[in-house]
């Protein structure tokens, strides 16, 4: 079996782990801060140190797989740009890492690799066609079709969070308007709730948090679990938007399974019920629902790392 060091990094943390085999539990792992403000090559130095800290003494046959924020070109190994990493403009990351370790290095979008990890080792086992959506600070995703990760002509496929669902809707972090991320991500849910509370709507959240400017999706979830009608309505609205979005994706890809991950998905039935109700309502024909399953992701924070090992062994 090909040994792999997997790296998953973003604007806050760099994680690296050594997987000597297909067993999904690494034998060594580390997590350090990205320090993104220091610039791309300082971050690459930190990635190098993280890899060295988990690398085996004998690196024969080793491959490195990297889960990175996009947009990126996985074929050329170049990060094109990313909002949470200042200065990352056409950075040839795989070439930099390969030169430092003299071994094959592959890279892909972190949400795409999470989809691949869930398909191979998580909630996607047993099917060859699935949609994975991660609902967290932002919204990302990936598509597995006929047992392969959908990449597209330039490796940019699967940006499921940046699809317009409301014409001239809220401003998204990418600069466009009306994307599902601007409506149903953790940040967006909190932003919508703050606006409604500041407009005078009643909620027990005033007892949970003193400053509404500090309100986050986790606070809304806690209030909803206590039965707060306002918080429940916020989550239901997000669930309906996601369900409508997924109905369109089901029409496009006809999956056997939909997997939801990310912190917001931990709301469980409060979120899943309006998602499923809306999805089934908006499907154009019952044939699309035949054997379709909606499941929670299983791999948690390790999904990207595990997906990076799968991708590295496939390439």
pTM for this model (two decimals):
0.94
Please state the rounded mean pLDDT for residues 167-178.
92
pLDDT at 120 over 90: yes
Q: What is the pLDDT of residue 25?
A: 86
Secondary element (H or E) of residue 7: strand 4-9
Mean local confidence (pLDDT), 242-256: 98
Which token pair is 15? 């994680």
pLDDT band at 215 (very low <50, low <70, confident <90, very high): confident
DSSP label of 25:
S
Q: Domain residues of the chain, as ranges?
A: 4-115+302-314, 126-297
| Contact partners, residue 41, CB within 8 Å, separation at least 6 | 96
Give strand pairing partners of 67. Answer: 8, 108
The span from the CA of 70 to the CA of 109, in Å, is 6
Question: What residues contact 99, with CB distance under 8 A and at least 6 apart?
Answer: none
Domains 4-115+302-314 and 126-297 share a fold: yes
Average pLDDT of the segment spanning 35-50: 97
What's the pLDDT score for residue 200?
83
Q: Say if residues 222 and 195 touch (Cβ distance below 8 Å).
A: no
* pLDDT at 210 > cutoff 80: no
**CATH superfamily placement of domain 126-297:** ATPase, nucleotide binding domain (3.30.420.40)
The CATH architecture that domain 4-115+302-314 belongs to is 2-Layer Sandwich (3.30)
Dist. CA 37–CA 160, nearest whole Å:
28
């Amino acid at each position: 079996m090909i040994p792999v060091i997997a790296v998953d990094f973003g604007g806050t943390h760099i994680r690296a782990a050594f997987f000597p085999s297909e067993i999904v539990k690494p034998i060594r792992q580390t997590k350090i801060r990205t320090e993104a403000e220091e610039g791309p090559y300082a971050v690459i130095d930190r990635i190098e140190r993280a890899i060295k800290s988990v690398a085996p003494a004998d690196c024969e046959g080793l491959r490195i797989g990297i889960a990175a924020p996009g947009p990126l070109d996985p074929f050329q190994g170049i990060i094109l740009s990313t909002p949470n990493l200042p200065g990352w403009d056409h950075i040839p990351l795989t070439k930099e890492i390969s030169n430092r370790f003299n071994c094959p290095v592959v890279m892909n979008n972190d949400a795409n690799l999470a989809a691949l990890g869930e398909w191979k080792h998580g909630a996607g086992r047993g099917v060859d066609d699935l949609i994975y959506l991660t609902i967290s600070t932002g919204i990302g995703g990936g598509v597995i079709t006929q047992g392969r990760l959908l990449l597209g002509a330039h490796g940019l496929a699967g940006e499921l969070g940046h699809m317009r669902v409301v014409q001239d809707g809220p401003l998204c972090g990418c600069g466009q308007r009306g994307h599902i991320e601007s409506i149903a991500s953790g940040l967006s849910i909190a932003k919508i709730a703050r606006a409604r509370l500041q407009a005078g709507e009643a909620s027990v959240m005033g007892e949970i948090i003193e400053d509404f400017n500090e309100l986050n999706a986790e606070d809304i979830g806690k209030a909803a679990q206590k039965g707060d009608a306002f918080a429940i309505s916020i989550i239901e609205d997000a669930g309906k938007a996601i369900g409508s979005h997924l109905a369109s994706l089901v029409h496009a890809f006809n999956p056997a399974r939909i997997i939801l991950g990310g912190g917001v998905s931990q709301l469980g039935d409060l979120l899943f019920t309006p998602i499923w109700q809306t999805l089934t309502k908006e499907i154009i024909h019952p044939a699309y629902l035949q054997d379709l399953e909606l499941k929670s992701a299983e791999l948690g924070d390790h999904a990207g790392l595990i997906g990076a090992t799968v991708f590295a062994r496939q390439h």
